[in-house]
Amino acid sequence: MSNNTFKIALIQLHVTDDKEKNLNNAREKVLLASKNGAKVVVLPECFNSPYGTNFFPQYAEYIPDGESVKALKDIAKTAGVYLIAGSIPEKEASSDKFYNTSTVYNPQGELIAKHRKVHLFDIDIPGKIRFQESEILSPGNQVTHFETEYGKIGVGICYDIRFPELAMIAARKGCIAMIYPGAFNMTTGPLHWELLQRARAIDNQIYVAACSPARDTTASYHAWGHSTLVSPNGEVIATTEHEPAIVYGEIDTGYLKEVRQGIPTYSQRRFDIYKDVSEGF
């Protein structure tokens, strides 16, 4: 296989309230994915702790000094893969602030990127639903891309996928894929989860992957699951239902080029009449 093509694995992990168990489970699945040929492995949002801002203070860790980062470095190195380690609640020592943070490791086990969720999810419909991430969390202020021998890859977290600009900036900056650890619920999952991935993929002619925790009906939050890989042409390449699973798919930069030649939107933008959102990054 040339550097044009590589296998990606999305680990739809069963997440419990036991951090050590979650990390051990993640290790086992990442090693398995690597054995099956994956070069890039993705974990879900909030994979080391229960989902919900009320769990933050108890589960949050410093990056890079916390136990999860230490474990993840070792997992990436042992497996010899790029590891996009979903997200974990991060505590910042200097400010006492919390962030929803994705860390990325190279096959040598080095922490090479960190994405703090940029768009926080705040919703308040009186008498219906209230979910205010910003009461606990602070937003990140950066777009995140990292280099691999296959090409550059961008990272967003969950709600970030609803904002096309982040994916478009990544594509304009040369990324071949956007990866979103996420956890949509039982309403927005069926409505938007796949549609958003396909939209971001076609908008930008890049690969898009989203990795969810498995659904746990005994937990307070029921995730939609359906971890999915979408091609630059908007096709669902690989997906699953809501049970724990590893979703495998191929990313082929040769195919990406073909798609861009076939429908040249990538190169035929009219920045003379509208702005290039990636300008300045």
Ligand X SMILES: *[C@@H]1O[C@H](CO)[C@@H](O)[C@H](O)[C@H]1NC(C)=O
Residue 58, helix vs strand vs coil: helix
Three-class SS state of 142:
coil
Establish if 195 lies at the interface with ligand X (CB under 6 A): no
Q: Is the omega angle on the peptide bond into residue 232 within 30 degrees of 0, that is, cis?
A: no
Does 258 qualify as catalytic in the annotation? Answer: no
Decide if 135 is catalytic: no
Q: At what angle do helices 67-79 and 19-35 cross, to 10 degrees?
A: 20
CB of 64 to ligand X, least distance (A): 16
Kindly state the smallest distance separating residue 87's Cβ from ligand X, in Å.
4
| Token pair recorded at residue 226 | 């359906």
Least distance (Å) from ligand X to the CB of residue 129? 5
Report d(CA 77, CA 58) in Å as an integer.
Answer: 28
* Binding status of residue 100 toward ligand X by CB under 6 A: yes
Known catalytic residue at 158: yes
CB 165, CB 201: distance < 8 Å: no
- Nearest alpha-carbon partner for 75 in 11, 160, 138: 11
Strand order across the beta sheet in which 236-238 lies: 144-148, 151-155, 175-181, 207-211, 228-230, 236-238
* Catalytic residue selected from 117, 133, 175, 194: 117
Q: From the CB of 100, what's the least distance to ligand X, in Å? A: 3
The residue (of 133 and 252) whose beta carbon lies closer to ligand X is 133
139 counts as binding ligand X under rule CB under 6 A: no
Q: CB under 6 A: which stretch of 74-82, 117-125, 228-236, 266-274 binds ligand X?
A: 117-125
- Residue with the shortest CB distance to ligand X: 100
Is 16 a binding residue for ligand X by CB under 6 A? The answer is no
**By CB under 6 A, residue 167 contacts ligand X:** no
Secondary-structure percent of the chain, ordered helix, strand, coil, rounded to 5: 30, 30, 40
Instruction: Please tell me whether residue 134 binds ligand X under the rule CB under 6 A.
Output: no
Return the number of the residue (156 or 249) whose C-beta is nearest ligand X. Answer: 156
From the candidates 61, 91, 158, 194, which is the catalytic residue? 158
Work out whether 32 is an interface residue with ligand X (CB under 6 A). Answer: no
DSSP 8-state assignment for residue 234:
S
Q: Does 159 bind ligand X (CB under 6 A)?
A: yes
| Sole binder of ligand X in the list 133, 160, 194, 216 (CB under 6 A) | 133
Name the one range near ligand X by CB under 6 A: 35-43, 47-55, 76-84, 106-114.
47-55
Residue 51: closest CA among 11, 86, 92: 86
Binding residues among 196-225 for ligand X as defined by CB under 6 A: none
Give 121 or 255: the residue with its C-beta nearer to ligand X: 121
3-state secondary structure of 1: coil
- Cα-Cα end-to-end distance for the chain: 33
- Nearest-angstrom CA–CA distance, 181 and 72: 16
**Residue 51, interface with ligand X (CB under 6 A)?**
yes
Structure-block tokens of residue 209: 């992957």
Size of the site for ligand X (CB under 6 A): 20
* Side chain identity at residue 64, one-letter code: P
What residue ranges bind ligand X (CB under 6 A)? 45-46, 51-53, 87-89, 100, 117, 121, 123, 129, 133, 158-159, 185-188
Active site residues: 45, 117, 158
